[in-house]
Amino acid sequence: SLPLPWSIRMKIALGAAKGLAFLHEETERPVIYRDFKTSNILLDADYNAKLSDFGLAKDGPEGDKTHVSTRVMGTYGYA
């Protein structure tokens, strides 16, 4: 199969970034996703990105708490 055009790649990247921003800023309590990788980004027929696999997700900091301290989670090889 042919590689995706850069315009579609950027659409996917932007959609995934918007998903993370929504989880961090728009939910009642912030959500730390903790498993961001290509296999956890699902695409619909129009290449709209949807985040999946929230098994490692954690409630984010709230109120006067500014940090979440836990052990490192996720898939090795991804930052």
> Residues 33-58: pLDDT tens digits?
878 889 999 999 999 999 888 878 88
Residues with Cβ within 8 Å of residue 9, at least 6 apart in sequence: none
Q: Is 76 part of any domain?
A: no
Q: Under DSSP, is residue 49 helix (H, G, I), strand (E, B) or coil?
A: strand
**Count of domains for the chain:** 1
Domain of 21 in residue numbering reads as 6-54
Q: Is 78 part of any domain?
A: no
**Residue positions annotated with a catalytic role:** 35
Q: Is 1 part of any domain?
A: no
Q: Is 59 part of any domain?
A: no
Report field, pTM of the whole predicted structure over 0.95:
no
**Residue 71, both tokens:** 């052990």
Give the separation between CA 24 and CA 36, rounded to whole angstroms: 13
- pLDDT above 70 (res 5): yes
Q: What is the pLDDT of residue 66?
A: 62
Q: What is the pLDDT of residues 14-29, one digit of tens each?
A: 999 999 899 888 888 8
58-59/49-51 β-pairing: unpaired
Within 10 A of 31 (CB to CB), how many other CB atoms are there? 19
